[in-house]
Structure 1
Amino acid sequence: MPWLTAEEALQALKTKPQTLYANVSRGRIRAKPDPADPRRSLYQAADVQRLAERHAGRRKAEMVAAESIRWGDPVLSSAISTIIAGRLFYRGRDAANFAEAATLEQAAALLWNGAETLFSGTTTGNAPPSLQAAFLALAERVTADLPSLGRSQAALRREAHSVLSTIADALAPGPSDQPLHLRLAASWKRPDAADCLRRALVVLADHELNASAFAARVTASAGAALSAAVLSGLATLTGPLHGAAWQGVDALIELSSALGAEQAIRRSLVQGNHLAAFGHPLYPDGDVRALALLSHFSLPPQFAALRETGEEMVGEKVNVDFALAAMAAAFGLPREAPIIIFSLARSTGWLAHAMEQIESGELIRPRARYAGPAPQMRSGS
């Protein structure tokens, strides 16, 4: 992946340094420290070229829109969360700092723009956390819950509380008077993991307009029930480029166990495989969510070796997918623990996005740029 110096980037963009730095802070241009001089930064050439072409006016409006739907410019307004200068903020509050003491219930109250602390769950069953149970419970609700349009924000918040209770019963079964991180730790019989689980749930509660949040917003914009919006988000989260990226980390750890960290990474890079454990486009100096977790438990030796070797070879720091997989290994959690944690946490964000989208009153309905066979137009008689 080619990188440019600041001087080269500025020459291509024909702009001021302040504009370059602003584009980096907004996630439009990826940056990383220069290995030869850590005081300087390097800038991703493809990102710079894309912006240079746009600024030069060589892009039609539909091409700009097409790029925006990927890693491009913002496509809608939201007051829920944002990433600025490598930091994640929930309604203006630094999420990593908030996670020092907050629970997921408190994160939900903040994201939902409510003042009260929420308590979720109604069951006291002993069933283990189950992603399948969450899918089934949400699907059962979809056909019974009311559409979201035409209802007040107070009514929607009450329903959001109920939907979160349904998810919590499946993903963190336990007494309804206990915080969700304690219920999750008890379900897995790992009380020593409770504080790390609490931190993970908070820093994963929302992440701006990611793929699953966008899916939830599209569903809500059509007037579907809140449970349907969350079901859309959950389905999207299971993709290997999103919430299931921890599986790629586990696979790299298995390869590292067999070959050693350096050879495992080298083989993966030679084969053209994406290394799920390293880097994030919105965090050029390191994923703050990973940093918020990794300092609170000891890395298992294989993870420590992979982190040290990989960060040097790849030039990117480990991300939250690595942190979740490492945390699961460190505390002896079930293999699917990362996706359970991710799903439970992000449900609060999906509900926040769904309610905000409903309040906007707008249907998300972009047009497609047709690239198929020429339409066969019938001539008039």
Structure 2
Amino acid sequence: MSEWLSREEALERLKVRPQTLYAYVSRGRIGMRPDHADPRRSEYRADDIAALATRRARGRSPSAIAESAIAWGEPSIVTAISTVWHGQLIYRGQDAAVLSEHATLEETAALLWAMPQPARFEAPLPDAPLQFGRASAFAQLAMLAGQERPSLGRSAASLCADAARAIGVLVGALGASAGTDPLHRRLARGWSVGDDVADAIRRALVLLADHELNASTFAARVAASTGASPAACLMAGLATLSGPRHGGAGEAVMHLAEDAARHGAEAAIRRWLGHDRPLPGFGHQLYPEGDPRATALLAAIGNSDETLQSLEAAAIAATGARPNIDFALAVLTRGLGLPRDAPFQLFALGRSVGWAAHIVEQIMSGNIIRPRGRYDGLLPPTDR
């Protein structure tokens, strides 16, 4: 019978950070199960850890180390903006879940951008009536990206000013009303919901503001490393966010919820898993004990949606995975009457603040991000 270790024991035997342990679990290299004494915690298979520790002690080639760093591996870019630490999301030394209890997105931007005053995201007055939504966000940001000057040689304050202007373009394109109020209130007015909903929107935006080196942030940093303008870098982040395995996961949760409403939660989950698709809205490689962003948002707004309640219970029973931020955004959207695409729009607006922070940090570093490919194709014949 296999021996199972606590997280602390596993970390001690491997001598790694929690993120690395979770990466090994996500890649199937270490078995994990819920702790029978406390289902909120996890246990890790001791045999897998022993085998992995032995392989680590023998060393790996530089190419293997570099390849593993790209996907949930060891940290590969130095940043002072955010990290995941002992199951908590940290923004420049502050717990993001605690920050979301009171901060606005503008105040969070000041923290992440290392600026003395809250940011201002003023939506420009359109020359013609806009069709609000995702397509408009891409179109308006692309137009600005084609006009802005490159970022090289400029001060952090100048770059932040351009980033704030570009985020203002996103704000207007996604339907926030005009004015100088904090963004969450302007979004609530634009989406025709009340002040009580505005506070839930505020929490979601703060919790989404950054998440260390996720795919869209990495894309924004790559663009920044070439000297592209802040708007162009934000465009790179937005394009990457649109993928179904990133910011598009919220839409998948909405589809799953609609399927559960028609066929029942257990049947919907069976159908989804039967098509060999990961269950959207549940589990996260960095948070095997549960996504603290989802915990914070759900604690604030509750879950009165019967379909999503049954879906949560059935998903935990079937997979052992707990709700993540995508599920919490679906609860927010369905329960509070937000536009159907609100999960993506909130993700884009909140995360744009983090993209901007990483853009400035990358430009100030002076480095270009240019990894090498490990070629696995044909080569021309050589003369002998």
TM-score of the pair, normalised by structure 1: 0.90
Are 2:263 and 1:264 aligned?
Answer: no
Partner of 1:64: 65
8 A Cα contact 1:280 1:287, kept in partner: yes
Aligned mates of 1:323, 1:221 — CA distance in 2: 33
Cα distance in 2 for partners of 1:339, 1:181 equals 15
Give the root-mean-square deviation of aligned CA atoms.
2.6
Q: In the superposition, relative to structure 1, how do residues 318 and 50 fare at CA in structure 2: closer, same or farther (>3 Å)?
A: farther
Q: Are the counterparts in 2 of residues 29 and 44 from structure 1 also a CA contact under 8 Å? A: no
Identity of aligned residues (%): 42
Task: Supply the distance in 2 between the matched residues of 1:46 and 1:119 (Cα, whole angstroms).
Answer: 53
1:310 aligns with 2:315: yes
Aligned to 2:83, what secondary structure does the other structure show? strand
Q: CA deviation at 1:137?
A: 1.5
In structure 1, how many angstroms separate the alpha carbons of the residues matched to 2:178 and 2:138? 21
Equivalent residue for 2:292, pick from 269, 272, 288: 288
* Residue number in structure 2 paired with 1:169: 172
| Residues 49/276 of structure 1: CA separation in 2 closer, same or farther (3 Å cut) | farther
Report SS of the residue matched to 1:177: coil
Whole-Å Cα distance in 2 between the matches of residues 200 and 265 of structure 1? Answer: 26
Q: Structure 2: how far apart are the matches of 1:354 and 1:165? A: 17
Equivalent positions of 1:302-341 (< 5 A) are 302-341=307-346
Partner of 2:38: 38
Unaligned runs of 5+ in 1: none
Pair 1:21–1:265, CA change in 2 (3 A): farther
Indicate the residue corresponding to 2:83 in structure 1: 82
Counterpart CA distance in 2 for 1:137 and 1:319 is 30
Counterpart in 2 of 1:5? 4
- In the alignment, does 2:355 pair up with 1:355? no
1:153 aligns with 2:149: no
1:223 and 2:222 aligned: no
Partner of 2:301: 297
Q: Which moved more, 1:111-120 or 1:206-215?
A: 111-120
Q: Secondary structure at the match of 1:295?
A: helix
Given that 1:127 and 1:173 are in contact with CA atoms closer than 8 Å, whether structure 2 keeps it comes out as no
Pair 243,163 (structure 1): closer, same or farther in 2 beyond 3 Å: same
Q: CA deviation at 1:33?
A: 5.8
Q: Which moved more, 1:208-217 or 1:141-150?
A: 141-150
Equivalent position to 1:255, from 256, 259, 275? 259
Residue 121 of structure 1 aligns with an amino acid whose one-letter code is E
Per-residue deviation, 1:334: 1.4
Count how many residue pairs are aligned between Structure 1 and Structure 2: 372
Q: Deviations over 1:322-370 (max 9, x none)?
A: 0101110001111111101100111111111110000000000010000
In structure 2, the CA distance between the partners of 1:318 and 1:29, relative to structure 1 (3 Å rule), is same
Is the contact between residue 122 and residue 179 of structure 2 (CA under 8 Å) also seen in structure 1? yes
State the match for 1:275 in structure 2.
Answer: 279
With normalisation by structure 2, the TM-score equals 0.89
SS of residue in 2 equivalent to 1:88: strand
2-side partners of 1:94 and 1:103: how far apart? 14
Does 2:18 correspond to 1:24?
Answer: yes
Instruction: Please state how far the C-alpha of 1:129 moved relative to its aligned partner.
Output: 3.8
Deviation readout 1:197-235 (Å, 9 max, x if unpaired): 000000000000000000000000001111111000000
Query: Aligned residue for 1:375?
Result: 380
CA contact (8 A) 1:102 1:202 kept: yes
Q: Is the 8 A contact 1:328 1:338 kept in 2?
A: yes
Per-residue displacement from partner, 1:299-335 (whole Å, max 9, x unpaired)?
A: 2000011111211221011110001011100011111
Work out the CA distance in 1 between the residues paired with 2:10 and 2:283. Answer: 27
3-state SS, counterpart of residue 44 of structure 2: strand
Counterpart of 2:339 in structure 1: which amino acid?
P
Contact 1:33 1:285 (8 Å CA) reproduced: no
Whether the 8 Å CA contact 2:124–2:168 is kept in 1: the answer is no
Distance 1:147 1:260, change over 3 A: same
Between the aligned partners of 2:24 and 2:313, the Cα distance in structure 1 is 26
Q: In the TM superposition, what is the alpha-carbon distance from 1:285 to its structure 2 partner?
A: 1.1
Offset from partner CA, 1:244-288 (integer Å, 9 cap, x none)? 101221222122122211222223223322101110011111101
How far apart, in 2, do the equivalents of 1:48 and 1:214 lie?
Answer: 30
Q: Deviations over 1:170-201 (max 9, x none)?
A: 12432231111011111110113101100000
Greater shift in the superposed pair: 306-315 or 171-180: 171-180
1:268 to 1:173, Cα distance in 2 relative to 1, 3 A:
closer
**Equivalent of 1:137, from 118, 140, 144?**
140
CA gap 1:133/1:218 in 2 versus in 1, 3 angstroms = same
Question: 1: distance between equivalents of 2:107 and 2:268?
Answer: 41
2:28 alignment partner in structure 1: none
